[in-house]
């Protein structure tokens, strides 16, 4: 296509779209599209620029001519902008960046320019944006703009809890860092404190940590805030109240503010978990059992397990230093009242942990002795039975403790049948949880011939015909079938 056809096309486009703005947009969009012939775009741009130059149009004239002065929220996403930047560059290649900046300053305030620079820049050349930002920074330095002054100029002081979502926040932080790189965090913090209370700021920083782009800065500012509290002489209790943790008594361990307070107390060289223990004990009053249940429940939750575990460790150490026995704590937690249902309560875990701390090498024997002091063997058997489906892990632990105790006491297979299964009558083979407990004990008792020993016990209670019928039924019971089959093989081998 020779020059004349380009002129013809250009004239038709001007007539059809009644102005230069549409052509400027086409030129800019065409440069971004691979399927548009570059020669068409280049020639249309040359003809457009030639017309403006013939009329002695300045860069500022064309900025207005293309209505770029009316696009405060999407300036750099406007296609005509790219054409305007190219025109300004053609007029003065060496001074283009400065001229672009001056035109922008003529039509827009600093906060709007900064917002556009921080936002989407589809139609602004990649090398132009940092230069404009540099001009902006030089302008602020030349005007002796302080961190607080720029915070207000960029209207960040009116962002409320959306501060870190503002596009220009990072621009402001960048400027503050240039002002005083060594003390930038403190300078940012002191400015933020003019618009936010300590609590509001701590909340803002806590929420910002969930944003990957803001996490590093939020952590630095949170640390600066804690240092500020330290220099102000705030006590652990002062900051506890400042963060409104005293308002969250019911869900204290779940408060996202708690980790901030813990970090501060550590800076005070105090034990935050010991302080938390005392605060929680005050809340629960004399009810150590309710406190222990709450703490063990918190250990189940991944969001609170770590801190709950550390508070537990402080409490166990305190009991140990006070000379408390495993039996003392069993009673303190009111476990002696729970009987067979002891494993329904989470606090039993705290007691087991304490018993293990009192006598690490012989903890199972210690646990067994305390359980036996408060429960007869039948209750212990039922304890293992009803504990399943409530706390499987602890039930397995208790079963091992109790079975080993019975082994030391030389209990017979018949004795343990009485403790565990006899109460079920002829249905005992259909109670797999208890049947497996008895089988586990007899296997410990007679490793070589456990099933013969079990059959010998059963023969004392049932005739062969009845027992075979019971075993046939049990083979249809989920969880009992394997043991039933093995017993049947001994009783009536094929």
Residue recorded with tokens 């600066």: 224
- Report which of 240, 115, 211 is spatially closest to residue 166, judged by C-alpha positions: 115
Q: Report d(CA 406, CA 365) in Å as an integer.
A: 11
DSSP one-letter string for 90-157: HH-TTTHHHHHHHHHHHHS-HHHHHHHHHS--TTS-TTHHHHHHHHHHHHHHHTT--HHHHHHHTTGG
Domains in the chain, number = 4
- Report which of 57, 128, 129 is spatially closest to residue 87, judged by C-alpha positions: 57
Backbone CA torsion sign across 221, 227, 231, 235:
positive
pLDDT of residue 33: 62
Do 1 and 136 lie in one domain? The reply is: yes
Burial category of 123 from C-beta neighbours within 10 Å (exposed 0-12, middle 13-18, buried 19 and up)? buried
Do 347 and 245 lie in one domain? The reply is: no
pLDDT of residue 1: 47
Do 399 and 492 lie in one domain? The reply is: no
Do 113 and 32 lie in one domain? The reply is: yes
Last residue of a domain, one of 348, 374, 406: 406
How many residues in the chain? Answer: 494
Do 3 and 130 lie in one domain? The reply is: yes
224 domain residue, yes or no: no
pTM beyond cutoff 0.85: no
364 domain residue, yes or no: yes
309 domain residue, yes or no: yes
206 domain residue, yes or no: no
Burial category of 44 from C-beta neighbours within 10 Å (exposed 0-12, middle 13-18, buried 19 and up)? buried
395 domain residue, yes or no: yes
Give the pair of three-digit tokens for residue 121.
């820049």
Cβ neighbours, 10 Å, residue 305: 13
pLDDT of residue 14: 64
pLDDT digits (tens, 9 = 90+) for 269-304: 999 999 999 999 988 887 899 999 999 999 999 999
Give the pair of three-digit tokens for residue 364.
């199972």
Last residue of a domain, one of 372, 406, 440: 406
pLDDT digits (tens, 9 = 90+) for 38-68: 677 777 778 878 888 888 989 999 888 888 8
**CB 455, CB 491: distance < 8 Å:** yes
DSSP one-letter string for 382-410: HHHHHHTTT-HHHHHHHHHHHHHHHHHTT
Do 273 and 399 lie in one domain? The reply is: no
Q: Buried b vs exposed e over 9-29: b needs ≥16 C-beta within 10 Å? A: bbeebbeeeeebbebbbbbbb
Do 339 and 399 lie in one domain? The reply is: yes
Do 10 and 136 lie in one domain? The reply is: yes
Do 379 and 474 lie in one domain? The reply is: no
Average pLDDT, the chain: 90
Q: Buried b vs exposed e over 208-231: b needs ≥16 C-beta within 10 Å? A: bbeeeebeebbeebbbbbbeebee
DSSP, collapsed to helix, strand or coil, labels residue 68 as helix
201 domain residue, yes or no: no
Last residue of a domain, one of 379, 406, 433: 406
Burial category of 385 from C-beta neighbours within 10 Å (exposed 0-12, middle 13-18, buried 19 and up)? buried
Cβ neighbours, 10 Å, residue 62: 23
pLDDT of residue 42: 79
Q: Which domain holds residue 492?
A: 411-494
Rg (CA), the chain: 40
Which residues of the chain, if any, have pLDDT below 70?
1-3, 6, 8-19, 27-38, 249, 494
Do 356 and 484 lie in one domain? The reply is: no
Do 349 and 439 lie in one domain? The reply is: no
461 domain residue, yes or no: yes
174 domain residue, yes or no: no
Do 262 and 300 lie in one domain? The reply is: yes
Burial category of 176 from C-beta neighbours within 10 Å (exposed 0-12, middle 13-18, buried 19 and up)? buried
């Amino acid at each position: 296509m020779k020059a004349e056809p380009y002129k013809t096309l250009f004239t038709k486009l001007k007539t059809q779209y009644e102005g230069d703005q549409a052509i400027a947009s086409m030129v800019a969009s065409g440069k971004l599209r691979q399927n548009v012939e570059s020669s068409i775009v280049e020639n249309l741009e040359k003809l457009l620029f030639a017309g403006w130059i013939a009329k002695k149009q300045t860069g500022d004239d064309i900025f207005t001519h293309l209505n770029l002065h009316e696009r405060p929220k999407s300036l750099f996403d406007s296609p005509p902008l790219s054409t305007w930047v190219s025109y300004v560059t053609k007029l003065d290649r060496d001074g283009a960046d400065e001229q672009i900046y001056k035109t922008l300053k003529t039509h827009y305030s600093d906060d709007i320019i900064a917002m556009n620079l921080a936002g989407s820049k589809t139609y602004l050349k990649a090398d132009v944006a940092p230069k404009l930002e540099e001009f902006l920074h030089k302008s602020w330095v030349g005007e002796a703009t302080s961190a607080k002054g720029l915070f207000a100029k960029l209207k960040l002081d009116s962002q409320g809890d959306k501060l870190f979502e503002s596009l220009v926040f990072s621009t402001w932080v960048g400027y503050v860092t240039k002002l005083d790189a060594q003390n930038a965090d403190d300078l940012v913090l002191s400015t933020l404190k003019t618009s936010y209370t300590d609590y509001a700021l701590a909340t803002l920083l806590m929420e910002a940590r969930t944003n990957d782009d803001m996490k590093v800065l939020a952590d630095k500012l949170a640390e600066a805030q804690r240092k500020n509290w330290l220099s102000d002489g705030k006590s652990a209790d002062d900051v506890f109240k400042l963060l409104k943790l005293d308002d969250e008594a019911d869900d204290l361990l779940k408060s996202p503010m708690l980790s901030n307070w813990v970090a501060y107390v550590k800076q005070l060289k105090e034990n935050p978990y010991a302080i938390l223990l005392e605060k929680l004990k005050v809340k629960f009053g004399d009810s150590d059992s309710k406190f222990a249940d709450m703490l063990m429940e918190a250990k189940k939750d991944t969001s609170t397990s770590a801190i709950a575990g550390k508070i537990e460790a402080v409490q166990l150490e305190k009991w140990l230093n006070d000379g408390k026995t495993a039996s003392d704590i069993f009673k303190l937690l009111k476990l002696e009242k729970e009987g067979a249902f002891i494993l329904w309560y989470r606090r039993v875990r705290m007691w087991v942990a304490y018993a293990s701390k009192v006598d690490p090498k012989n903890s199972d024997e210690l646990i067994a002795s305390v359980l036996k002091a408060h429960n007869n063997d039948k209750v212990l058997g039922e304890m293992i039975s009803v504990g399943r489906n409530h706390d499987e892990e602890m039930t397995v632990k208790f079963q091992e403790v109790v079975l080993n105790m019975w082994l030391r006491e030389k209990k017979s297979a018949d004795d343990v049948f009485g403790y565990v299964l006899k109460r079920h009558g002829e249905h005992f083979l259909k109670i797999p949880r208890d049947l497996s407990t008895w089988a586990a004990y007899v296997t410990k008792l007679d490793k070589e011939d456990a099933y013969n020993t079990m059959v010998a016990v059963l023969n004392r209670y049932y005739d062969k015909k009845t027992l075979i019928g019971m075993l046939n039924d049990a083979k249809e019971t989920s969880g009992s079938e394997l043991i039933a089959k093995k017993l049947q093989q001994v009783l009536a081998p094929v």
